[in-house]
Chain A
């Protein structure tokens, strides 16, 4: 049931064209942050307005849409965004990763490998990987233009000197096709290797007015040192519900006596495995 008072997918066609141009430019220059005139959306800045605008410009009436937040389809913000497009675009929605043509995500990449023809839309809070080293936009844009990324490695050097390890666990910076250093949004570094995929990846930062993109099969390297290589990490347990040993896990506190269990953060993955008969040690 679409609300007739708004255009398909809420945004007017002019705005969608402007966003599509930014997306195409982003795909043409992988990893480059394209400025775009982000619109005020009916959801707050910081709650996925960039992702929502990219989805709005990407969706067609034939699409099947999935929204995840922290890997889950039923977290409140995911529900809110899914409903927004049900109301304004009337598109089919799903929780099945394999059935979706457009997936909007916050902080995770689905466990199930994505395929050609799918689009993964990320919500990005701070698109600038250099921001916490250099607060000025005018300076960071120059650093990207001149490929001056020494400072990024200084930060990793300092981590190792102080902690013995690179102390970045999410939003771990990557280099795209040997050119731009890019923030993959706050996904856990466990997800970084999945950034090389068959699907199109689009990143939208509404408040910061930036869109960037990774075309299918683009080379993505997580920054590291030869002698301190990048390591994707996760909790060293299988999922308590489905027994998966290869998925990213949430830690759930089960009582106030130190009891806890680990479960898949990707709810669709976990449910599919359980439907296939897999069981973890905490499953009934």
Chain B
């Protein structure tokens, strides 16, 4: 006899237990600590912080451990945690000009004040598997030198002095907050940048790449890429001045793009901008290219119908937590919808069959 399926609760409990066991893996292999992940999987931690919109390397490392290395799942854990946190206030805008740079390169000038600083980069490594890493070895130590780097001015500042690059008007307006207000269109640039900085890295990369291949090509040069720590300051009303409440490492990318000029504007360079938590170069450069592509309207450029120019398309599809949830929900039961589709298809087939019979008879 048929009995309607019961036992959803038991199935869920059993699945959770199995998952926990799988997460740990073979117990003969030592368990990984959160600190190990934080120190040795730092780029993964950075991505989780950037797309989770929460700067906390320990929590990000914990999320990666809990998510078994699935970074989108880890980002989800961070987002769900973040949304429950109380808000004490807003910091002052960070000053990236005063960044303690670890890495700073410009593709537009061979040498420049502050110098080119390669920093810890994969850029010129040969991508050969290093089998020495498979055997645990001693910790490598890099040489130290006093670089004498003091203040590192922004490259776009040099161009700006000559009037060669568009002026970026500063504004004291409070930017909109994507996590507190529903996304409404048209979105201004501050809101777009906010969405892009937490956007999925792969999606942003794909869009940026598409602009390079001709879908809204905007001829980007990396004017400057800089990575380093900046101070976060907050105004304390009781004190009457701002105090430093901590440091965050950021990656900032400013692209310099061609602009042919218009009837009212002489030819000059324009800007694309990327700013992301942690050392996240690929993401920051991608963000700058997509930012620039989305600015077609204010710059009086043609809409060539490229995906990267379409703010609604980009903003509505860039969030991997929204995307993965909706994608994966098709695993949920859809018996009811499917049943009504079954009835419909049977009905349509019946009337089609009846017609065929009638035609055969005529």
Contacts and interface: CB of A to CB of B under 8 A. Distances in A.
A44 interface: yes
Nearest to A282: B2
Contacts of A6: 84
A251 B342 contact: yes
Contacts of A45: 321-322, 324-326, 329
Contact of B336 (A35, A78, A79, A170): A170
A165 B348 contact: yes
Interface residues of B, number: 50
B339 A40 contact: no
A169 B343 contact: yes
A66 interface: no
Interface residues of A, number: 68
A130 to B, nearest CB: 15
B325 A167 contact: no
A77 B333 contact: yes
B312 A137 contact: yes
Contact of A136 (B179, B312, B321, B325): B312
Given A76-B8, A79-B8, A282-B1, A69 B340 contact: no
Contact of B6 (A38, A74, A189, A265): A74
B359 to A, nearest CB: 14
A261 B185 contact: no
B329 A265 contact: no
A165 B343 CA distance: 13
Interface stretch (B59-67, B74-82, B121-129): B74-82
Nearest to A138: B185
A186 interface: yes
A137 B316 contact: yes
Nearest to A73: B8
Contacts of A125: 326, 329
Interface in A21-59: 35-42, 44-47, 49
A270 interface: yes
Contact of B337 (A163, A186, A251, A267): A186
A171 B340 CA distance: 10
Query: Which of A37, A45, A49, A136: most chain B CB closer than 10 A?
Result: A45
Nearest to A271: B4
Interface string B316-346: 1000011011111100111111011111100
Interface in B166-185: 179-185
Given A137-B316, A207-B322, A44 B76 contact: yes
Contact of B339 (A10, A12, A250): A250
A71 B342 CA distance: 18
A249 to B, nearest CB: 7
Contacts of A254: 2
- Of A40, A49, A77, A249, most B-chain CB atoms within 10 Å: A40
Contacts of A37: 179-182
A186 B180 CA distance: 28
B9 interface: yes
Nearest to A235: B343
A270 B5 CA distance: 13
A190 interface: yes
A75 B8 contact: yes
B2 A263 contact: yes
A282 B2 CA distance: 8
Contacts of A240: 2
Given A45-B326, A188-B340, A70 B82 contact: no
A107 B336 CA distance: 7
Contact of A209 (B76, B182, B324, B337): B182
Contacts of A46: 325-329
Contacts of B29: none
A75 B11 CA distance: 10
Contacts of B89: none
A115 interface: no
B336 A265 contact: yes
A241 interface: yes
Nearest to B6: A74
B351 interface: yes
A42 B80 contact: yes
B14 to A, nearest CB: 11
Given A74-B5, A125-B329, A138-B185, A249 B344 contact: no
B7 interface: yes
Given A138-B185, A169-B341, A235-B339, A107 B334 contact: yes
B337 A107 contact: yes
Contact of B351 (A12, A70, A71, A164): A164
Contacts of B339: 188, 235, 248-251, 265
Nearest to A284: B1
B336 A189 contact: no
Given A44-B76, A47-B329, A74-B7, A80 B12 contact: yes
Given A46-B326, A241-B4, A282-B1, A189 B182 contact: no
A165 B328 contact: no
B286 to A, nearest CB: 23
Nearest to B344: A169
B83 interface: yes
Contacts of A137: 185, 312, 316
Contacts of A106: 332
Q: Which among B179, B184, B344 has the greatest number of chain A C-beta atoms within 10 A?
A: B344
A249 B342 CA distance: 12
A209 B183 contact: yes
Interface of A: 6, 10, 12, 35-42, 44-47, 49, 69-72, 74-80, 83, 106-108, 125, 136-138, 163-165, 167, 169-171, 186-190, 207, 209, 233-235, 240-241, 248-252, 254, 261, 263, 265, 267, 270, 282-284
10 contacts: A35-B182, A47-B332, A70-B334, A74-B9, A107-B337, A167-B348, A186-B337, A234-B343, A252-B2, A261-B2
